[in-house]
Each structure stands twice: as C-alpha cells, then as structure tokens.
Amino acid sequence: MSPPISALIADDEPLLRADLADELARLWPELQIVAQAEDGPAALAACRAAKPQIAFLDIRMPGMSGMDVARALLAEGTAPLMVFVTAYDSFAIEAFEREAVDYLLKPVTEARLAQCIGKLKKRLEAPAATPDISALLAALQGSLAGQAAPARLNWIRAAVGDTVKMIPVSEVIYFAATDKYIAVFTREGESLIRTPLKELLDQLDPVHFQQIHRGMIVNLRHVQNARSDGNGRVLLRLAGRPETLTVSRSYAHLFRQM
C-alpha cells in the first residue's frame, strides 16, 4: 500500500479551514491533513516542519500572505504543490508565477474542488511536469463564469445612539474592532456596526481599504502621510481625524513607501 499523501491547510478563518478539511476528506479519503495554520508565519513554520506534499494557502492571512509563504518556500527549494484559496481573483497571475497548481475562489464548490484534486493527482504522478499556465487561466475563467464577483459595500448601516445612519463607504476613515462591535470613524464622529472584521474586509474594495493590524482597517484615501516610530512600527496621520493610527509590524512594510 502506498503511503498517504500529506497536506497542509492555512486559513485565518477556523470554519473555512474545517470546511475545506471536511470536503477534502470526503472527496479524497487518501489525503492526510498533517497540519493546519491560522496565519502566514505559522503556515511557513508548519511547511518547514511537517514537509507536506500539498499546501492549500489562503492568500490574505495575518503576518504573511499566502504569496509570501510560497515565495519563502520556493526560495528554499522546499515548496510543496501549492493551491491558493481566496475570495479575490485579482491575485491569479501572481499565483501562477508562484508555480501554483491551481487557484480556488471562495466559496469553493464541490465540482471545482474535485477538479483541483484531479490536477493534484496528475502532478503527484508526474512531479517533474511544468504547470500549464494557459490551462490554469482557463480554469480560473471557468470558475469566475459560474459565480458573481464579490459584492462590494457602498453603504454602511450603522447605529448612532438610538438611530440608524446610512454612511457612504467612501466617507469611512477607518474601522476599529471593539469587544462586541466594530466602530466606524468618519469626519463627523463614531458609530457602531456588528459585522465581524474579517467579513467586513472581504466586502471592502482592497484597492482602498487595508488592514493595519488584527483589529483595524484603514481607508487609504484618507491617509495623509505615514512615518516610522523608530521601533519597527508605522504611524498614520489621517485627513479628517485628530488621532494617529499605529500600523503593526506585520503590516508596516505596506506603508514604507508612502
């Protein structure tokens, strides 16, 4: 009997990790999930330690993106077969440049995952094969044809005292997570919503909104300037708000050229 195929799943959403693991167990019983990770650095460490043959990598993760993990493993010459899983199709070309076997758009359908498993099995049987970039692009286009692009928020329905206010997303300066709510900051003041930060981030346009640490998202259109504090963090000065926001070290590299 041949040894089981080993795989890693990396995603910062526990439910999505569990769903993918369950679907893989059902569609590919021979596959053994040897590690799971909730952020980029943990995924990189797990790949180095467990040496899985396959890695399912979310692209947007805290600390390091899935692309960063892939880049590090490729540089070390220890990269497994990689499948990127994300809600955004805009990363497709870079994914293929990172020698991805496949690229899955969330929510991943059973049929699309089964197709991916077929590709992985073929690559495992012929590991020296070179990825067919044109075929990967065709598969991506096919998956896009069967689902709508992620809906982008245009308005925020937020509580201000006892009333509900409709706020244009373009006017939001930043979002900050509290114990039970997300605070929405505009020039006029602060209001509250209940949407989880991760879910909110997936609905915002990534061209304009950037997570700057685990509990905060900033609208880049309202950032006047960024400066280093000398300790590896970056401080953002905002247009329309008196406070200064601190970017964690994990995201500081995104603002060093501002």
> How do the domains of the chain map onto residue ranges?
5-145, 167-255
Distance CA 51, CA 66 (A): 16
pLDDT in tens, 43-58: 999 999 999 999 999 9
pLDDT in tens, 137-187: 455 455 445 444 556 788 888 877 777 888 999 999 999 998 788 999 999
Distance CA 196, CA 156 (A): 13
Fold held by 167-255: OB fold (Dihydrolipoamide Acetyltransferase, E2P) (2.40.50)
The number of helices, as runs of H, and strands, as runs of E, in the chain is: 7, 15
pLDDT at 185: 96
CATH number for the segment(s) 5-145:
3.40.50.2300
Q: How would you classify residue 230: left for phi > 0, otherwise alpha for psi between -120 and 50, otherwise beta?
A: left
Q: How would you classify residue 121: left for phi > 0, otherwise alpha for psi between -120 and 50, otherwise beta?
A: alpha
Residue 23 neighbours by CB under 8 Å, 6+ apart: 108, 110, 113
Same fold: 5-145 with 167-255: no
pTM, two decimals, is 0.53
